[in-house]
Amino acid sequence: MEVSTLPSLSRQETEGSLEMETAFSNQGFEGNDATDSSSAWSPEEHEGANVLPAHPSPHEPISKCGDLDVIFDYRPSTQKLLVTVLEAKDIPDKDRSGVSSWQVHLVLMPSKKQRGKTSVQRGPNPTFKDKVTFTKLAPEELSTYAIRFRLYSVRKLIKERMMGERFFYLSNLNQEGEMKVTLVLEPRSNLCSGGSQISLSAISHSDSASSNQSLSHGGVPELLVGLSYNATTGRLSVEMIKGSHFRNLAVNRPPDTYGKLCLLNSVGQEMSRCKTSIRRGQPNPVYRETFVFQVALFQLSDVTLMISIYNRRSIKRKEMIGWLSMGQNSSGEEEQNHWQEMKESKSQQVCRWHTLLES
C-alpha cells in the first residue's frame, strides 16, 4: 500500500486540523526520525512459507473463555478428517458478553486454505453438532498441521466478534477411530462490558520476556490493539497493548521492535504520526502505550489508522515485521469490525487481536 504523505507534523499542529497527544512519557522514543524516510506502508517482502504455530507451554490458562467439546474422526485410507463440533460450555453469559448467539469457525493451519464454520446457536450452552471435513491429510504429514477453533459471538446487523480460540495439533490425533476432546478456549479480546477488561497478568505473562524459546515457534505475527472514541470530545484513543510471534528474520535472536502509528485523511495524506518506545529482545513484547488523536465525529468515517511494527536492526536500519489498517481503508474484515465496534461502544475500550500483513 502506497500513500502520499505530508512531511511536517508541525504544519498540521499550527493549522489545528488534528492534535496528537501521548498518555505516557516519551523518553523511550527515538530522537532521530531519519530512518523513517522510506515508504512507511510498503512492507518489505520476506521469503519463507507459513509454518505451524508452536505448541503452547504446558501451563494452565491464566483465564479462559469456556470449553468446546469436539469429536475428531480421522480416516487414513481417504486422508480425510471429520470434525464434529458438539457444544460450548461455561462461555461468557449475556450480562458480560451482551449476546446469546454463538458460532464456531474452524481453520486448517498453517495454510488456512481449508476452513468451515458451524451454524449459529443460541443460549448459555449452545449445542451445534455440526460437521466439517478436511481433506488431503496424509498420515505421515499430520504433525505439520493444526486446527484452529475460534468462538464468535453473533449479533444482528453487526459482524461477529471473536471471543476465544484454541489450537488442536493433529499430531495428537487418534488414528484408530473417533476421539472426543474438550478444548479450553482462551480469550483473545476483551468482553463487551467495562467490567471485563483484559487481565494485565495475562498480557504480561512470561512469554513477554526475552526468551529464545519463542524464536522457533513460527506463529503468525499478531498485535493486540485497544480502541476507544469519545464523540463528545472527539478523542480517538489507540492503545498498543501487546505483540505476539515477532521474529528477527536476519539473525537468530529476539528482535528489537517498535510500533508506528499514522493517521491518514480520506485521500491518503498523513495527518499525524507517532511511535512507541523500543522493546529490546522480545518476540512477544508488551507495549501498554496509549496515543490520543483529535478527530471530529464527522471525520471518523473518513480517516484511516495505519499501524506498522518494525524490527530495528541498527540506528539506520530497520525492517518491517507487518502492518494493519483500520477505518476508511481497513486491511481486512476483522479490522473493519474492530473499528465499527469502537464507534458503537460509547467511549468504552474495545480490544482485539489482529494478524499483521507482510505484503
The residues spanned by each domain of the chain are 9-52+199-355, 66-187
3-state class (DSSP) for residue 104: strand
Residue 162 pLDDT level (bands cut at 50, 70, 90): confident
Calculate what percentage of the chain has a pLDDT beyond 70: 68
**Mean pLDDT within 21-27:** 35
Give the largest CA-CA distance in the chain: 71
358 vs 159 pLDDT, higher one? 358
Say whether pLDDT at 86 is over 90.
yes
Exposure on the CB side of residue 322, measured as CA atoms within 13 A: 18
Phi, psi for 158 (deg, rounded to 5): -130, 140
- Domain 66-187: assigned CATH number: 2.60.40.150
Output the pLDDT for position 183: 93
Q: What is the residue-averaged pLDDT of the chain?
A: 75
**Between 210 and 65, where is the model more confident?**
65
Above 90 in pLDDT, residue 92? no
Query: Confidence class of residue 302 from pLDDT cuts 50, 70 and 90?
Result: very high
pLDDT at 219: 62
Q: Per-residue pLDDT for 139 more than 60?
A: yes
Nearest to 243 by CA among 297, 283, 211, 270: 283
Is the pLDDT at 296 greater than 90, yes or no?
A: yes
pLDDT digits (tens, 9 = 90+) for 217-233: 346 789 999 999 999 99
C-alpha cell at 316: 539506520
pLDDT at 289: 93
pTM of the model: 0.47
Determine the pLDDT at residue 175: 81
Q: What is the pLDDT of residue 187?
A: 73
Residue 37 banded pLDDT, cuts 50, 70, 90: very low
Residue 264 has pLDDT above 50, yes or no: yes
List the helix and strand counts (H, then E) for the chain. Answer: 4, 18
Q: Which residue has the higher pLDDT, 300 or 358?
A: 300
Give me the mean pLDDT over the 167-190 stretch. Answer: 83
Bridge partners (DSSP) of residue 43 are none
Cis peptide before 110, with omega less than 30 degrees from 0? yes
Question: Residue 312: pLDDT band by 50, 70, 90 thresholds?
Answer: confident
In sequence order, what are the beta bridge partners of 158? 155
In CATH terms, are 9-52+199-355 and 66-187 the same topology?
A: yes
Topology, domain 9-52+199-355:
Immunoglobulin-like (2.60.40)
